[in-house]
């Protein structure tokens, strides 16, 4: 077992003397080793913050290229190149983080090691899991790995995003597009409604005889009034929204017939986008940190698993109380998680977090809206700070909406620079 440095002693040492309290060799040997699994917004950000905090960090990521989901709805809209969504790990590697491209397949929380698909085993003092989501192919009758090629979810960005874009482009003017939206919880609560808005905008401007039917397994959703006002204003007659109460819940999909079955009806589409139910990335269950819901319960102060010691879970995979599953939240949790890990490995108590989330949505070009929240531990969860946060004002000028769209773009630049940049 690696011995971690007592941080306070180390600092006292440096302040008291510039000579011999610690020999470099000893320091090198005793740097605590932290493994991060998953190089998305959560994992990449955490690796960076842990490294800045003096840990020896190994980041295990399955793919050499990361394709970001935020703003991928604009790729589907046809107004953004997927190249702008794509990032590598060179910046992290250059900063001194050990990058391992490969899939983690096992976690032994007793022996504290991670097994890779290629048979290698890596030991850790603490582990951070940030595997994002997996699609639950067992949850929606008719939906499967084969079905996703016909009815793309595009809920992991990359080939799925491009597939949906191409299908929309290839569709005849007059064709019907169908979207199926799941019940909570799922990645990016406002994401489906942003996508519906942007598909409607594409149809309005490029396929004016077409229609979009949005089938939802719920009756209420994030930024609902803002979205619905905008739909009325801009997409009346194009976008038809069917909530749970009107039979919006998808019960089955039939890819061979391009049909979505709901409690009340059958809908046939020329393009069908199924956003299926999800769970934490499979490695979470393999590590024993996912509960029966498929997600990972965590301590709201340390973001440590409630099920296994020395394992922290951040980002979409975690049950983060009132915090939504967003890139913004994953990044905020990552930075706090790093502080908690550094403190705990130094034998100190973890600081208590206060976290922010903001999700911007683009409803049309130059038309952005947002929802913000501030969170802190209360009653065992990350709870909303009372009387804070909320959505953009309902009555705002076009200039205000344009300003938020510009801020959304700036946010993407900032967050991806933090996670993947060279800075």
Partner 1 sequence: MTRFLTAAVFCLLPFLASAQVAPPGAESCGGCHGVPGTALPALSQLKSDQIAIAMADFRKGAREATVMDRIAKGFSEPETEAIAKWLAAREHRP
Q: Note the residue count of the chain.
A: 423
60 binds, among ligand FAD, partner 1, ligand HEC, none (CB under 5 to 8 A by kind): ligand FAD
Interface residue with ligand HEC among 52, 286, 343, 356 (CB under 6 A) is 356
Coil vs helix vs strand at 48: helix
Kindly tell me which of 213 and 275 has the beta carbon lying closer to ligand FAD: 275
Among all residues, whose Cβ is closest to ligand HEC? 358
Residue 335 is a binding residue for partner 1 (CB under 8 A): yes
Using rule CB under 8 A, residue 322 touches partner 1 = no
Site string for partner 1, 349-378 (x = CB under 8 A): --xxxxxx-x-----------x-xxx-x--
- Given CA atoms 277, 157, 390, 44 in this order, what sign does their dihedral have? positive
Tell me the two tokens of residue 117. 């698909």
Q: How many Å apart are CA 228 and CA 223, to the nearest integer?
A: 9
Query: Based on CB atoms, which residue is closest to ligand HEC, 70 or 248?
Result: 70
Q: φ, ψ for residue 277 (rounded to 5)?
A: -60, 155
Number of residues engaging ligand HEC in binding (CB under 6 A): 4
CA-to-CA distance for 169 and 217, rounded, in angstroms?
27
- Positions 38 through 97 that interact with partner 1 (CB under 8 A): 51-54
226, 318 contact by CB (below 8 A): no
Q: What is the DSSP letter of 393?
A: P
Q: How far is the CB of 407 from ligand FAD (least distance, A)?
A: 12
Instruction: Report the distance separating Cα 368 and Cα 406, nearest Å.
Output: 8
Q: How far is CA 196 from the centre of its chain?
A: 19
- Of 1, 16, 28, 394, which one interacts with partner 1 (CB under 8 A)? 28
How far apart are the C-alpha atoms of 74 and 364, rounded to whole Å?
10
Chain residues binding partner 1 by CB under 8 A are 5, 7-8, 10-11, 13-14, 18-19, 22-24, 27-28, 31, 51-54, 328, 331-332, 335-336, 339, 342-343, 351-356, 358, 370, 372-374, 376, 385, 387-390, 392, 400, 403-404, 406-407, 409-411, 413-415, 417-418, 423
């Amino acid at each position: 077992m690696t011995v971690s440095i007592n941080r306070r002693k180390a600092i006292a040492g440096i302040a008291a003397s510039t000579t011999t309290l610690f020999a470099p060799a000893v320091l090198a040997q005793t740097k605590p080793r932290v493994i991060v699994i998953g190089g998305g917004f959560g994992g990449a950000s955490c690796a960076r913050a842990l490294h800045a905090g003096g840990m020896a960090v190994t980041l295990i990521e399955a793919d050499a290229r990361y394709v970001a989901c935020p703003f991928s709805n604009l790729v589907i809209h046809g107004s953004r190149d997927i190249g702008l969504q794509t990032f590598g790990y060179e910046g992290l590697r250059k900063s001194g983080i050990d990058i391992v491209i490969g899939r983690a397949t096992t976690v032994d929380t007793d022996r504290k090691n991670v097994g890779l698909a290629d048979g290698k085993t890596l030991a850790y003092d603490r582990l951070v899991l940030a595997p994002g989501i997996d699609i639950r192919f067992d949850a929606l009758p008719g939906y499967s790995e084969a079905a996703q090629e016909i009815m793309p979810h595009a809920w992991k960005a990359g080939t799925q995003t491009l597939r949906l874009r191409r299908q929309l482009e290839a569709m005849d003017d007059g064709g019907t597009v169908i979207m199926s939206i799941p019940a909570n919880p799922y990645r990016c609560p406002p994401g489906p409604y942003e996508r519906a808005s942007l598909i409607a905008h594409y149809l309005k401007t490029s396929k004016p005889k077409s229609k979009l039917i949005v089938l939802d397994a719920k009756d209420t959703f994030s930024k609902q009034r803002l979205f619905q006002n905008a739909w009325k204003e801009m997409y009346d007659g194009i976008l038809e929204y069917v909530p749970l109460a009107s039979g919006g819940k998808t019960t089955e999909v039939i890819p061979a017939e391009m049909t979505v079955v709901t409690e009340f009806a059958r809908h046939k589409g020329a393009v069908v986008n199924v956003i299926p139910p999800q769970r934490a990335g499979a490695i979470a269950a393999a590590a024993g940190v996912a509960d029966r819901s498929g997600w990972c319960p965590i301590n709201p102060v340390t973001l440590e698993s409630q099920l296994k010691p020395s394992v922290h879970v951040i980002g979409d995979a975690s049950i983060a109380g009132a915090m939504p599953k967003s890139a913004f939240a994953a990044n905020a949790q990552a930075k706090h998680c790093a502080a908690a890990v550094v403190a705990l490995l130094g034998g100190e108590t973890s600081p208590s977090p206060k976290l922010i989330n903001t999700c911007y949505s683009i409803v049309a070009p130059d038309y952005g809206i947002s929802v913000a929240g501030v969170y802190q531990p209360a009653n065992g969860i990350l709870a909303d700070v009372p009387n804070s946060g909320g959505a953009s004002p309902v009555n705002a000028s076009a200039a205000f909406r344009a300003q938020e769209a510009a801020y959304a773009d700036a946010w993407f630049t900032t967050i991806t620079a933090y996670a993947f940049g060279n800075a």
